[in-house]
Amino acid sequence: MDDDNDISLPDGWVWTTIGEVTQSVRKLDPTTNPDKEFIYLDISSIDNTTQRVVEPKVYKGAEAPSRARQSVKSGDVLFSTVRTYLKNIAIVPAINGEQIASTGFAVLRANEVTTSRYLYYYALTEHLLNELSKLQRGTSYPAVRDSDVRSQKIPIAPLNEQHHIVAKIEELLTRLDAGVAALKRAQANLKRYKASVLKAACEGRLVSTEAELARAEGRSYEPASALLERILAERHAKWEADLRAKGKDPSKVKYVKPQSPDTSGLLVLPEGWCWASVEQILAEPLANGRSVTDAIDGFPVLRLTALRNGRILLTERKTGAWTSIDATQFLVKKGDFLIARGNGSMSLIGRGGLVEDDPDLVAYPDTMIRIRPLSMVINARFLRAIWDVNSVRQQIERQSRTSAGIYKINQSSLHSIVLPIPPISEQVRIVDAIEQKLSIASNLVTVIENTSVRLERLRQSILKRAFSGKLVSQDPNDEPASVLLEGIQAERSI
C-alpha cells in the first residue's frame, strides 16, 4: 500500500487507528496462583512461515516467566513487537486451559467494528510492517512499543464487507499455499536427488566402472588398490633414500606408515575400487592454519565464510596482522581442500571446500585444516564430491563429538576418515556425471527460489488489493464503517 493520503477508499470505508478497533486485554501475575497451570505463548511458540502457534508451553504459576503477563483468548491476534520484520504474527488458537501471552506481543483483540481475521490479515501487510520498522528502537534487540502498533492507521470496511474480504483472501491464499507446498516438496525432492546421485557415485553405479570398460575394450587397467600400494611403496623408498643421502641407516629409524582403513562393516566396493584413509591419500601432511588478528596493513587471509557449498570463495578474506614471511607456509594453492575445524555447530564442523582457481597470495587461518591430496591417487574434484556423501559425513560427525558438547575436528580425526577410491580415470568420469546431473538440479533450485519470491509478491498483492477495497465488490446497502466506529467512540466517551 502507498501512503495513506494517496489512497482513495471506497464509499463506506474509513481510516482509523488499530487502537480504535481493538480492546484492551487483562494484565495478570500468574505467580499469585503458584499451583495453577497455564498455557504460555511467547515468540518461540510461533512458526513465522505459517503464522501459526505451534509450540505453546505449559507452566505452573510458580514457574511463570517474568514476561507472562497478558491474559489472552481464542481469536486474539498476537503481533510480536520485537524485530517486526520477522513476522511473528498469529491468531491465538482454541485450546482448553488458560492462555497467557508474553509482554513481547501487542495483543490485538477486535471490538465490534472489525473481526479478528480482518485484523490478522492487515497485520501481515507490507505497509504496516514497513511503517513499524521505521519506529524500531535498539540495535541488538530492535523493537517497537505496544502503543506504536496501536497508533498505526488501518482502513476499515463495512462489517459485512469485511467478512467477504476475509473469505476471498482465504480462498486465494489457500491456492497460493498449495503452490508453496508444491514448491517445498520439489525442493525436498531435489535434495534427495542430490543425495542419491552422490550415493550412486560412491557405490560405482553412476557410470560404467573402469573394470567394465577395460573388459569391453580388451585392455588392462590398474586397480586403485594396486596404484595406492605402488604409491605408498614409492613413498617409503623415497624416505629411505633421503635418510641414506643424509648418512643415516633407515633400519635404525622408525618409519611411520600411513594409517590403513578399518573396513569392517563397510560396503563391498565395485571391482577395481578400494578403501583408503585420508592419511593414505595425502601429497603433504595435514596442516592447520595459523591464528591471526585483524589489521589494517598486513597479509590477506581467508575468512571461514569462504567455505561455500564445497568451494572456497577466494574473495571472502580479511587482512591479517602478519608478514608475507609469516604467511609462507600457509599459502593456498589450486587443488587444496580446506576443512572447517574450529569449535561450533555440528552442521559446519568438518565441511570442506575446494580451491578451484589459481589464487593470488592468500593464506588460510587456524579455523581451517588443509588437505593437499595426492593427484595420482585421488582427483581433487572427486574428493570434494564424496566429502558430502552421508557415509563420509557420518564419520566426521562421530569424530567431532566431545563429552562437553563442543564440536571440533583435528588432524588425527581426519587421518582416520575412510574414503572409497576408484581408478583415477573413473573418478574423472564420475565427477563429470555428477556435475552434469547436479547442474540441472541447481537450475531447478533457482527456478523454485524465483517462483517462491513471485508467490510472496502475489501474496502481498492480494492483501494490498483487499485493504484498498479492490478485492471484492461493495454493497451500497451495507452500514458504513464510520457509523460503527462512531458508536464505539460514543460508548468510550460515556
Residue 275 above 90 pLDDT? Answer: yes
Summarised one tens digit per residue, pLDDT across range 200-252 is: 998 999 999 999 999 999 999 999 999 999 988 988 898 899 899 999 998 88
- Determine what percent of the chain is predicted with pLDDT higher than 90: 71
Q: How high is the pLDDT of residue 125?
A: 96
Q: Which backbone phi and psi does 89 adopt, to 5 degrees?
A: -130, 135
Q: What is the dihedral of CA 317, 321, 327, 333, to 10 degrees?
A: 0
Predicted confidence at residue 435, as pLDDT, reads: 92
Structure confidence at residue 494 (pLDDT): 62
Q: pTM of whole model > 0.75?
A: no
CA–CA separation, 100 vs 68, rounded Å?
A: 6
Cβ-contact 318, 333 below 8 angstroms: no
Q: How far is CA 344 from the centre of its chain?
A: 15
In Å, how far are 157, 474, 485 from 480, measured between CA atoms? Answer: 7, 11, 9
Rounded to an integer, the average pLDDT of 56-75 is 95
Higher pLDDT, 157 or 488: 157
| Angle, CA 400 vertex, CA 396 and CA 406 arms, to 5° | 150
Residues 6+ apart with CB under 8 A from 54: 45, 46, 47
Cα dihedral angle (278, 385, 398, 376), rounded to 10 degrees? -10
Q: Fill in the DSSP letter of residue 14.
A: E
pLDDT recorded at residue 346 = 77
> pLDDT digits over 481-494, tens only?
999 888 877 777 66
Q: How many residues does the chain have?
A: 494
Cell of 224: 586403485
pLDDT at 3 > cutoff 60: no
Closest of 255, 261, 264 to residue 280, by C-alpha: 261
Q: Which residue has the cell 566429502?
A: 387
Question: 23 to each of 72, 76, 114, 433, how far by Cα in Å?
Answer: 11, 10, 11, 63
pLDDT at 355 over 90: yes
Is the pLDDT score of 436 beyond 90? yes
145-152: average pLDDT: 96
Whether 129 shows a pLDDT value over 90: the answer reads yes
Q: What is the pLDDT of residues 363-384, one digit of tens each?
A: 999 999 999 999 999 999 999 9
In the structure grid, which three cell numbers stand for residue 137, read together? 528502537
- Which residues pair with residue 55 across a beta bridge? none
Mean pLDDT of 422-436: 94
pLDDT tens digits, residue range 396-421?
A: 888 887 666 677 888 988 999 999 99
Does the structure show a pLDDT above 90 at 35?
yes
**pLDDT in the model for residue 387:** 92
Least confident span in 55-64, 303-312, 387-396: 387-396
CA–CA distances in Å: residue 301 to residues 58, 356, 366, 371: 49, 17, 10, 17
Confidence of residue 272 (pLDDT cuts 50, 70, 90): very high
Does 447 or 6 have the greater pLDDT score? 447
Of 392, 488, 166, whose CA–CA distance to 383 is shortest? 392
Asked whether residue 264 carries a pLDDT value surpassing 70, the answer given is: yes
What would the pLDDT profile of 177-197 be if each residue is shown by its tens digit?
999 999 999 999 998 999 899
Percent of the chain with pLDDT over 70: 96
pLDDT the model gives residue 94:
92
Model confidence at 103, pLDDT cuts 50, 70, 90, reads very high
pLDDT of residue 14: 95
Write out pLDDT tens, residues 282-298.
Answer: 999 999 998 888 888 88
